[in-house]
Structures are given as C-alpha cells and as structure tokens.
Structure 1
Amino acid sequence: MPTCDDADSGQKKTSLAYLSLLVPPNLAWEAGQLPLYTVWLTGTHGDQAYAALHCTVGDAMIALSSLGLAILALRRGDWPSHGFPAVLLATTAIGVAYTLFSEWLNVEWRGAWTYAVAMPRLPLTGSGVTPMLQWLVLPPIRLFAAQRMARQTTDFGASS
C-alpha cells in the first residue's frame, strides 16, 4: 500500500522532471519568437540573450506555480498517481490565464516590452498569439513526459 511518503516522492519526482523537461524547449521557444518582439530590431545581441533567458526563468516560475496552484485548487495531494488529467488541464489553464494577464500588463499597460508588427495578436486582449501557444503546447506535452519519467524511475527503484 502506498504511503504519504510515496505520494510526496512521486510529486517531487514528477515536478522536478516537469521542470527539467520544460526549461530547454521554453528557452528554444523564447529564442524562436524573439523576431516577434521589437528587441529583435532595436536590441543588442546581449539584450536579446537577456530577454530570452529572463523570459525562460519566468516560464519556469509560471510552470511550477501553475502546477502547484492546480494541485492545491483541486486538492490532489495524491497527484500524480491520481487525478493527473485534471491537474494537467488546470495547470495549462492557469499558465495560459497568467500569460494572458502578463502579456497584457507588460505590453499594453506597463510598456515593459513591445511586439513587432509581425506578432499575431489575439483580438480581445491584444496579447501575442505565440506566448499563448507556448502555454497550450509545451506544458501538457512535458507533464505527460514527466509523469512517464517519474513512473519509470519509481518502477526501476522498486525492482532494485
């Protein structure tokens, strides 16, 4: 019978796997969408590298916060062994909602960054399409992979 320690271990393994699997593609995504921001045209290479790294660190914080909030909101202390689909959907929804807010706040209100003309924008909020796609695509794929990875290491450890 699984214990609380087993559940905590599964959560930690899956959360760490999620973070380690999510950071590299987020860095690639951030670098790939740089031409859709004015920093691509007006910034130095250093400014561009800083923007990609800064946003990737932010992505990691959003990812872990979204996952944590989803687990808390759904009261899934037994996650990832139970309730995985609900946690996945809630994590994705929270990440998308935060990104919509953050893009609106930083582009429209604070002017912290600006979109290039090439950035496709959402009609209601004016937020960029590619940041939304990033949070609709990468977290679900990486959560599935993290769950699989954590299960394999748990299964491997159990058979040793």
Structure 2
Amino acid sequence: MDRPHWSVPLALVWVSSFFLHFAWEMWQVVFYEGMATASHAAAIWICTKATFGDANIALAAYLAAALSVCSIDWVRTPTGTPLFFYLAAGLLITVLFEYLATEVLGRWEYNEQMPTLPLLGTGLLPLAQWIVVPLVSLYATRLMYFGFLPMREYAANKPA
C-alpha cells in the first residue's frame, strides 16, 4: 500500500476530534455556570470555540505521540508508547487549561453539579472527555485512513 501524504493522519485526527469533542461539549453544558440559561445560539458558539481548542489539543497530543515513536502515521499500528503519550499529553494540557480558565483567568466556571478533582478543582467530565474522545477519535481515524480491510487484516495477523 502506498503511503499517503504525511498530513492525512493529522487532518483526520483533527476532523474526527472536532466532531466528537463538539458532541461532548454540547452534552456537558449543563455542568457549567450560566450555560443552562444561555440562548441556544450562544451555547452553540461557546461550544464551537471550545471545540476548536479541543481539536487543536488533540492534534498537539497526536504530534507528541508521533515524536515518541518517530512516525507520523503511528495510528496504523498503535502501541502502548504512542497511546500513552497521546493520552498523557491531552490530559496534561486539559488540566492546565482548565485550571487556568477556571482558577486564574475566570473564563468559565463549573456549577455545583460538576464533580471535580480535590486539589486542582479540575472537572472530572473534561478529564473523562480526554480519555473517551481521543480513543474513539483514533479508531475513527484508523477507519478513515486505512479503511475496514486493512484493519481486519491487521487484527487477523496480530500476534497474541
């Protein structure tokens, strides 16, 4: 199989992340102060802006994972090392951004329904977002990048 351009996995990760993160952002609006009373258009705009940030974080995390294994298309055969770096980078950036936004800059705040980490006060839903969405996004990226057949062949030939 010819190798596609290096930008293909990056674009697929960004696009799949964007749509999946947007769905998550819309789902969790009830856990943020003032979002329940915001107009529909305002909530969509706020979630869209947050989603652009999420997709960019996903791209940065993907690149961190690529650096860890010196391969831009590591999603072809994801192993423990790039998966660790992918998830760790996304989680680390999220904790940092959530702390800055809620505690330092006051850009948004959680309401009483948001479960938080005891020490940092970071919301557990944004943390869960950076475990669930990246894994689903990687799976979607693999499907779009390699299709169903190469994945079946890989699964059938993978050593146990």
- Both proteins in one fold, TM over 0.5: yes
CA distance in structure 1 between the aligned counterparts of 2:116 and 2:6, rounded to whole angstroms: 36
For 2:93 and 2:87, the matched residues in 1 are separated by 10
Structure 1 residue 115 displacement after superposition: 0.7
Q: Which has the higher contact order (CA 8 A, sep 6+)?
A: 1
Matched, 1:138 2:133: yes
Root-mean-square deviation (CA, aligned residues, Å) is 2.4
Of residues 42, 46, 50, the one that matches 1:51 is 46
Which of the residues 111, 114, 135 maps onto 1:116? Answer: 111
Q: Give runs of aligned pairs for residues 15-26 of structure 1, distance below 5 A.
A: 15-26=10-21
The letter of the residue matching 1:37 is Y
Q: Distance in 2 between matches of 1:86 and 1:127?
A: 26
Change (3 A) 1:21 1:77: closer
CA contact (8 A) 1:15 1:146 kept: no
Contact 2:87–2:130, Cα closer than 8 Å, also in 1: yes
5 Å-filtered alignment, 1:4-19, equals: 6=3, 9=4, 11-19=6-14
Cα distance between partner residues in 2 of 1:35 and 1:80: 34
Output the CA distance in 2 between the equivalents of 1:149 and 1:85.
21
Tell me how far 1:41 sits from its aligned partner.
Answer: 4.1
The whole-number CA distance in structure 2 between the counterparts of 1:10 and 1:148 is 16
Q: Which runs of 5+ in 2 are unaligned?
A: 151-160
Residue 64 of structure 2 corresponds to 69
Count residues in correspondence.
Answer: 150
Aligned to 2:89: 94
Say whether the 8 Å CA contact 2:9–2:141 is kept in structure 1: yes
Q: Is the 8 A contact 2:22 2:51 kept in 1?
A: yes
Among all aligned residue pairs of Structure 1 and Structure 2, give the percentage whose two residues are the same amino acid: 29
